[in-house]
Amino acid sequence: MSSQTITNKKPHRNLVAWEKAMDLVIAIYKETNSFPKEEVFGLTSQLRRAAISVPSNIAEGAADRTIQQFSNFLSNALGSLNEIDTQLEIAYRLGYLKQKAYKKLYDIVDECIALTYGLRKSIRTKKMV
């Protein structure tokens, strides 16, 4: 279900960075389903937790916080995105991800990083106005 089908006033649902981060969560869950069973409590779990952290931090930061607090939550989201980048590289090198799947996830992570940096820059600029 897309957030566009839900009508409510939660501010994070209007953020492209949050929506793309939600897409990343779904993509990671789908790809990690094929990881070896012995990785359930290892790399699979780590990737999923880091992925969930990204939209969660964006949502929490957007929830009636100061600009500084929101910026801090966005920094946490960026940290998780870089963690995912490293974990995807590990999964690829171990052969858990084929090149096509790795590239797809890598591109989504890059887009999420760009959107989150952009959002953080945007809210910091508002602070100066």
pLDDT tens figures, 33-90:
999 999 999 999 999 999 999 999 999 999 978 999 999 999 999 999 999 999 999 9
pLDDT for 6 equals 52
- Domain boundaries, position 93: 12-128
Residue that has been written with the tokens 């839900």 in this structure: 6
Q: Centre a 10 Å sphere on the Cβ of residue 42 and count the other Cβ atoms it contains.
A: 12
51 inside domain: yes
7 inside domain: no
23 inside domain: yes
Percent of the chain with pLDDT over 90: 82
pTM: 0.89
The string of DSSP letters for 6-54 reads -----GGGG-HHHHHHHHHHHHHHHHHTTS-GGGTTTHHHHHHHHHHHH
3 inside domain: no
Residue 107 has pLDDT above 80, yes or no: yes
Q: Centre a 10 Å sphere on the Cβ of residue 129 and count the other Cβ atoms it contains.
A: 4
CATH of the domain at 69: 1.20.1440.60
Q: In the structure encoding, which two tokens stand for residue 54, read together?
A: 């990204």
- Across 14-31, average pLDDT: 97
Number of domains observed in the structure of the chain: 1
